[in-house]
Amino acid sequence: MTDKKIPIIIDTDPGIDDAVAIGVALFHKKLDVKLLSTIAGNVSVEKTTNNALKLVEFFDKDIPVAKGANKPLCIPYEDSSHIHGESGMGGYEFPEPKKVIHPEHAVNAIRETIMNNEEKVTLVPIGPLTNIALFLTLYPECKSRIERIVLMGGSASAGNHTPTAEYNIFADPEAAKIVFASGLDITMVGLDVTSKATLTPDNVETIRDLNETGRMMYSMFQHYRGGSLKTGLKMHDLCAIAYIVNPELFKTQVCFVDVETSGTYTAGTTIVDLKNRYHREPNATVCLDIDVDAFRAWAVEQLANTR
């Protein structure tokens, strides 16, 4: 293992669990966050972009924030402020950010970042996949500069937004289909692990007393509806960061994955062919299980390393 940091771009729709993932990534000694690109998802892209700016200012990091797509490729936009509050990051009063948005659209900013970086860059989408699909479609020549994609989304079992579909994939199924068909090295960190990756009430109390970040997270956790404060808060997006730096926490399987883009009930469902029923070439590494206790200990330790 070298001491070299892994260059990553986080494509995000903050979002309370996004905020945790971003905080951990910005302070992780193995990660070099080159860009935050934003996407409509949990709330509108105006709000997610403003939230991303607030977060980099809160963490006092000089990371560019580029604003991306305001709606999915083909279907209408639908927000989920019922999960994350009206602003997307309800529960904590951040000052209005002074930092300005990157002048380029996220898709062009991703290209610029990737092409200007000496090493290949890892893409970490933790929202709907619209920006990534647009980027891969507009600039296929950049694919060779991508190390891999580690995304939060999908499920090999049940969904969370509909009985079968996970939210990020449901929000833009066509984009997800493009990403899974891209031929790139893809890891799907989906509900099979992220629903188990909760912070317990004890963890949440510990986090509150860690530092400024802990107090900020604690305030937002009071408003987060991804799980509950009593039964555990689901840290969906943080799992993608955990996978990059601590893959040994996860059990995975390489298999064929595709996305249902229409269907009476199934739009946005990931078809994860664990038993090779379709005899198709495998195109993704799918996370199927996680060492939950180790994840919790890791998450608290990481948050202790923030400001």
Instruction: Classify residue 211 by burial, with Cβ atoms within 10 Å: 0-12, 13-18, 19+.
Output: middle
Minimum CB separation from Ca ion for residue 163, in Å?
21
Q: Counting contacts by CB under 5 A, is residue 15 touching Ca ion? A: yes
16 binds Ca ion (CB under 5 A): no
Question: Which one of 84, 161, 236, 279 is the catalytic residue?
Answer: 236
Stretch of 9-17, 112-120, 211-219, 294-302 lying at the interface with Ca ion (CB under 5 A)? 9-17
As given in the structure block, the two tokens for residue 271 are: 């078809």
Q: Which of 69, 126, 165, 284 binds Ca ion (CB under 5 A)?
A: 126
- In the complex with Ca ion, the residue whose CB is nearer, 79 or 237, is 237
Joined together, the tokens standing for residue 195 give 């629903």
State yes or no: residue 11 binds Ca ion (CB under 5 A): no
Strand, helix or coil at 187? strand
Which of these ranges, 61-69, 74-82, 104-112, 234-242, lies near Ca ion under the rule CB under 5 A?
A: 234-242
Q: Which of 125, 127, 128, 159 binds Ca ion (CB under 5 A)?
A: 127
Our answer to whether residue 161 is catalytic in this structure is: no
Q: Alpha helix locations (H) across the chain? A: 16-27, 45-58, 81-84, 106-116, 130-138, 167-171, 173-180, 191-194, 201-208, 212-221, 236-245, 292-304
Taking CA atoms, 103 is separated from 48, 55, 61, 202, in Å, by 16, 19, 18, 42
Neighbours of 101 (CB within 10 A): 17
227 binds Ca ion (CB under 5 A): no
Footprint of Ca ion on this chain (CB under 5 A)?
13, 15, 18, 126-127, 237
Query: Which residue numbers are catalytic?
Result: 236
